């Protein structure tokens, strides 16, 4: 888990550098990245998140579980109706992440213009959050965040952890799913 903490720190530093390049800040943003229906795919991130949640009081854990149950029930309902899932993350408290130092990878990297190379060498790019990145700044590719080295390092960490614990199943969980699984 120490390796993951080091990787997360590198992600945070790269994110800040990219945000600074674009003159962007989430401060006072009326939107919330915490409303996106993200899936997380690694056992390492699950265990890192759970380690933090275990340090909370029983009352705090129960409150978070209640919010996670509501999130899952509502997202299931919306999905069954073919509607977009636009729900607040159960770990968001008054507009801020209650486990900010332990948040998963996509929560750290989402929002700024980025690119990455898939294993098949296909280049994937994203413009970043429309609230965070003004339209006139999106055409400044030299400042885009390269997610590739972070994804590669996460894959190394994940592979090693899975070998150590003998885990072979696929993982696809929202943060609410992670909360309810622990």
pLDDT tens digits along 21-34: 888 777 766 666 88
pLDDT digits over 53-88, tens only? 999 999 999 999 999 999 999 999 999 999 999 999
CB 113 within 8 A of CB 19: no
The per-residue pLDDT for 25 is 76
Say how many domains are in the chain.
Answer: 1
- The SS3 of residue 146 is strand
Q: Could you give the C-alpha distances from 161 to 113, 148, 151, 166, 170, in angstroms and in order?
A: 30, 20, 15, 8, 14
How many CB atoms lie under 10 A from the CB of residue 98? 18
The per-residue pLDDT for 137 is 56
Domain that includes residue 165, residue range: 2-181
The per-residue pLDDT for 138 is 53
CB 40 within 8 A of CB 175: yes
The per-residue pLDDT for 133 is 65
What pairs with residue 4 in β-bridges? none
Burial of 76 (0-12, 13-18, 19+ CB in 10 A): exposed
**Per-residue pLDDT for the chain (182 aa), expressed as one digit of tens each?**
899 999 999 999 999 999 888 887 777 666 668 888 899 999 999 999 999 999 999 999 999 999 999 999 999 999 999 999 999 999 998 888 899 999 999 999 998 899 999 999 999 999 888 776 665 555 555 789 999 999 999 999 999 999 999 999 999 999 999 999 98
CA triple 20-23-29, angle to 5 deg: 105
The predicted model scores a pTM of: 0.87
């Amino acid at each position: 888990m120490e390796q993951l903490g080091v990787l997360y720190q590198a992600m945070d530093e790269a994110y800040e550098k990219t945000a600074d390049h674009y003159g962007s800040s989430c401060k006072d943003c009326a939107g919330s990245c915490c409303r996106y229906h993200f899936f997380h795919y690694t056992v390492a991130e699950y265990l890192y998140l759970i380690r933090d949640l275990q340090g909370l009081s029983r009352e705090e854990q129960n409150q978070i579980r209640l919010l996670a149950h509501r999130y899952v029930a509502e997202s299931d309902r919306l999905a069954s109706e073919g509607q977009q899932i636009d729900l607040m993350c159960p770990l968001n408290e008054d507009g801020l992440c209650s486990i900010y130092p332990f948040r998963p990878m996509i929560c750290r990297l989402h929002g700024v213009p980025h690119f990455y190379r898939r294993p098949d060498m296909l280049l994937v790019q994203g413009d970043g959050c429309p609230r965070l990145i003004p339209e006139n700044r999106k055409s400044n590719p030299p400042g885009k965040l390269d997610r590739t080295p972070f994804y590669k390092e996460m894959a190394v960490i994940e592979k090693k952890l899975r070998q150590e614990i003998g885990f072979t199943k696929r993982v696809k969980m929202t943060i609410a799913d992670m909360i309810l699984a622990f």
